């Protein structure tokens, strides 16, 4: 394994009815003014907003609403939140929602205490913030694992870049599977596939040799696949939802990445696709993964063969690694269709070939990928994904 230093800073409250326990325990540590952040209003329809605000007010907090955080949060929205935080002397940020809300708040937390433009600092100057407003997260849509790390995916609409930024770690996170019960199933499955994608992107990174991190990863991937299937048969299955929620956290809390250089090439391509189309993240990944893997699997045939055998149960006796690997990719593609995710960009309403060229030319090429792709190869992958 590669050398590593590892910490696990986020305190997790996991399970039924943990919101009140978490807030009454943790809020005493912070000042009076709370920025309550959420998205398009679903938390008001399902009662989560009223419940959370009631606890905040019971604890003597003054609440300021920061609403309307979009599925692909923009840097302009970050600036709006930072301005609110400064003007209202915010002491604590509470993100209530999925990965987009949490990601936005991570950067708001930093920008609120930083006079310089954070995007320019990170992308142009290569410097990162060190001071943050404290924040917590109540997860209502799992899949991204955003509550477990300090990374955030933010879209700069002016530059046409959807890229990763570094901001605050949440001091604590509430993971109550019951809070996901009111979500549309398409959103639940899309989030769960994002978890599977995180696992695969880590699994196929360097080194390719067998290691404990990948052994753990295989168990999580199999769990995600099994519990997605369970949930499609029984939408209200608490056990399946709880397993998927914890798998999401495990996929992005750093444990699977210990000793590895990860390969997030599918994510990098999808991020740029999202910068130009604002497409659904999980759906975009579902379209890209099988095609991308068919372009690179021969460079790591042994690892892809192991993926086929250990995750998908492909019988490898008498076959070459390349043959077994190809069958594993076929199994992944069949699973994507089985769970109702799109297989082509056309199904997602994305047809502009000229735009796909721009996506390819602006996509980041990751260090951990078993094959270093060129912009032309990424464009070829996107063309194949189109139909």
CATH of domain 185-386: 1.20.1090.10
- d(CA 371, CA 378) in angstroms, rounded, equals 12
The domain defined by 11-180 folds into Rossmann fold (3.40.50)
Classified as helix, coil or strand, 106 is helix
Residue with tokens 């302009």: 76
Query: Which pLDDT does position 40 carry in this prediction?
Result: 87
> What are the per-10-residue average pLDDT scores of the chain (387 residues)?
74 95 96 97 93 97 98 97 98 98 98 96 96 98 97 96 97 96 96 98 92 97 98 97 97 95 97 95 98 97 98 95 98 98 96 95 94 97 96
β-pairing, 92-97 with 33-37? parallel
Tokens of 66: 């920061």
Tokens of 372: 């270093």
How far is residue 78 CA from its own chain's centroid? 18
Tokens of 30: 């912070």
- Which of 257, 285, 286, 290 has its CA nearest to residue 272? 285
Taking the domains of the chain in order of start, what are their residue ranges? Answer: 11-180, 185-386
Tell me which H or E stretch contains 161: strand 161-166
Cβ neighbours of residue 227 under 8 Å, at least 6 residues apart? 192, 240, 241, 243, 244, 247
- Which of 259, 252, 310 has its CA nearest to residue 102? 252
Quote the pTM value: 0.96
Query: Which pLDDT does position 376 carry in this prediction?
Result: 98
- d(CA 379, CA 356) in angstroms, rounded, equals 7
**Neighbour-count burial of 384, counting CB atoms closer than 10 A to its CB (0-12 exposed, 13-18 middle, 19+ buried):** middle
Helix H segments across the chain? 19-26, 42-45, 48-58, 75-87, 99-111, 118-119, 185-203, 212-233, 238-252, 265-277, 281-296, 301-312, 321-338, 353-362, 375-386
């Amino acid at each position: 394994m590669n050398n590593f230093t590892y910490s696990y800073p986020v305190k997790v409250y996991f399970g039924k009815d943990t919101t009140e326990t978490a807030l009454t325990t943790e809020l005493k540590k912070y000042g009076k003014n709370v920025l309550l952040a959420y998205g398009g209003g679903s938390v008001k329809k399902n009662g989560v907003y009223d419940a959370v605000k009631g606890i905040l007010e019971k604890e003597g907090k003054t609440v300021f609403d920061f609403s309307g955080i979009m599925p692909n949060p923009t840097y302009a929205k970050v600036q709006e939140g930072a301005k609110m935080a400064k003007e209202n002397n915010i002491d604590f940020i509470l993100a209530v929602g999925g990965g987009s809300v949490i990601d936005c708040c991570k950067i708001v937390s930093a920008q609120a205490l930083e006079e310089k433009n954070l995007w320019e600092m990170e992308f142009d100057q290569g410097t990162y913030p060190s001071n943050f407003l404290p924040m917590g997260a109540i997860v209502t849509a799992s899949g991204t694992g955003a509550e477990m790390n300090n990374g955030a995916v933010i879209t700069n609409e002016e530059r046409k870049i959807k890229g990763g930024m570094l901001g605050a770690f949440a001091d604590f996170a509430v993971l109550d599977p019951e809070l996901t019960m009111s979500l549309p199933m398409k959103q639940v499955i899309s989030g769960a596939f994002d978890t599977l994608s995180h696992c695969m992107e880590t699994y196929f990174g360097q080194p390719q040799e067998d290691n404990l991190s990948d052994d753990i990863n295989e168990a999580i991937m199999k769990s995600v696949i099994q519990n997605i299937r369970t949930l499609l048969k029984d939408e209200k299955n608490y056990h399946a939802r709880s397993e998927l929620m914890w798998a999401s956290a495990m996929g992005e809390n750093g444990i699977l990445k210990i000793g590895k250089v990860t390969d997030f090439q599918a994510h990098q391509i999808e991020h740029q696709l999202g910068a130009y189309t604002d497409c659904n993240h999980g759906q975009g990944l579902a379209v890209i993964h099988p095609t991308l893997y068919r372009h690179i699997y021969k460079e790591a045939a042994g690892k892809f063969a192991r993926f086929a055998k250990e995750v998908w149960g492909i019988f490898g006796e008498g076959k070459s690694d390349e043959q077994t690997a190809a069958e594993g990719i076929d199994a992944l593609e069949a699973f994507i269709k089985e769970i109702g995710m799109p297989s082509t960009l056309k199904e997602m309403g994305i047809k502009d070939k000229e735009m796909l060229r721009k996506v390819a030319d602006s996509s980041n090429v990751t260090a951990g990928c078993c094959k270093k792709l060129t912009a032309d190869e990424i464009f070829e992958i996107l063309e194949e994904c189109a139909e």
